[in-house]
Amino acid sequence: MVRFNIFFEPVQKFNERVAILDNYVSFNEVLINWTNGAKIQEIAEPLVGKDYCVFRMDSYSLSTSLVFENIDLLVKIFEFADILEVYLHNPPKKFFHLIRQQIPSESVHIEQSTFKKIEKKQFQDVIHDLNENIIGQGEAKKSLLRKLVAQLIRPSSKPLVLMFYGEPGIGKTETAKQLSTTLYGNDNIIREQMSMVGGESSVKYFKSTNHSEDSFSKTLLNRESNVILLDEFALAPAFFHSTFFQMFDEGIYEDQNYKVDLSNSIIICTSNFKNLSEMEKNIDVALLSRFDGFVKFSPLSFDEKRQISKIVYSKIIDSESMTKEYKGYLDEVKILEILESKLNALPNVRAIRKYVEDIVADKLLEVIIKDKSCWLC
């Protein structure tokens, strides 16, 4: 009997798995022939001469419920074409359960991609990278590390759920990205802007009423990092908060199509509240009680702003678009002096970055105005 291999994993990992198969066909090609009244030999034509059939996530979107509710017919089609194995990527739970129920267990192989819990040996790397790449925020870093240790010694695989709070643009998101880079080798964190949630499209996205549409569950299944960022979480409508209760409590996110395992994840919500009192007034206690910790990010000091301004300037100067000719028109000492005179009025990293860009642009614009024949024109 044909063997069903089921993989719940990111699309990149599944693509690498399929790439080593020598003789396969996509199930999407089979679907082209699957019309009303079509005979088995007609449907199976693209499969003939192939060893493997591959179901990607768009295969489920293109199919009607009739296709996936008729497991017996699927098996007959595969057996008619002498298919050896079927590879299925992240099948919706209804289809998955039907396979489990109707296919003998010895013919079903299931693999679930998981993320390991943070290990003790990683802590020195986390400490080093946070201090190297996040300016200031000593207390925030200490609070974060304390909670990471708590997750390390926790007997369960429950997610670590944190609230990063403080004024905008002072390092909350960058800290989350840096944590992901250190722990998982990339900063491709899932980042949902919760202030935009509320309309019908949001309901569809988070509840996943149709597996042909994008959904939060699909995004989670394809994640490359186990750091999940929910930006401005408190600004989402209160009725959306309950959507995350099971995710926060048990590490499970479930909608109509998928049940996603979030074991050992680090879920970071952010808010612009300045203190816990503000937070308690605006967030329901049922939600607040589900957070493992609250990490406060403080306003940047003058010295921290100065360090950031130098880093921002260096990144602009070192960028590929900054040619040697451009650099020749810029006086770093004078630019940094102008910056320092305005730092008190610049509240965060975004404001500093914009101001640095404006100063550099002004200096280059002066050259254009003075010399119409210059290479900048």
d(CA 267, CA 314): 32
Q: What is the pLDDT of residues 155-203, one digit of tens each?
A: 889 999 999 999 888 899 999 999 999 999 999 999 999 888 877 777 7
pLDDT tens per residue, range 316-369: 888 777 777 777 777 788 888 888 888 888 888 888 888 888 888 888 777 777
Q: How far apart are CA 272 and CA 234, in angstroms?
A: 9
| Per-residue pLDDT at 80 exceeds 70 | yes
- What integer best gives the mean pLDDT of the chain? 87
Closest alpha carbon to 244 in 223, 226, 230: 230
Domain boundaries, the chain: 3-112, 120-296, 302-370
CA–CA separation, 322 and 165 (whole Å): 35
Range 44-66 average pLDDT: 84
**Amino acid 374: pLDDT:** 54
User: What pLDDT is stored for residue 65 in this prediction?
Assistant: 64
Using the predicted structure, report yes or no on whether residue 372 has a pLDDT greater than 70: no
Higher pLDDT, residue 350 or 63: 350
Report the pLDDT averaged over residues 129-144. Answer: 92
- Distances in Å between the Cα of 69 and the Cα atoms of 5, 43, 64, 99 are 18, 16, 9, 9
Determine how β-strand 252-254 pairs with β-strand 259-261: antiparallel
Q: Is 155 helix (H, G, I), strand (E, B) or coil?
A: coil
**167 torsion bin: left (phi>0), alpha (psi -120 to 50), beta (else):** beta
Better-scored residue on pLDDT, 326 or 79: 79
Supply the pLDDT for residue 280.
87
Nearest alpha carbon to residue 257 among 71, 91, 105, 134: 91
d(CA 112, CA 115): 10
Confidence of residue 271 (pLDDT cuts 50, 70, 90): very high
- Fill in the amino acid letter for 116: K
Give the pLDDT of residue 97.
92
d(CA 61, CA 63): 6
The DSSP letter of residue 118 is P
- Which tens digits make up the pLDDT trace of 272-283? 998 898 888 888
Give the per-residue pLDDT at 155.
87
**Residues 193-247: tens digit of each pLDDT:** 988 887 777 778 887 666 677 889 999 999 999 999 999 988 888 778 888 899 9
Other beta carbons within 10 angstroms of residue 88's beta carbon come to 24
Tokens 């209760």 locate to 245
With residue 85 as reference, give the H or E element that holds it: strand 85-89
CATH class of domain segment(s) 120-296: alpha beta
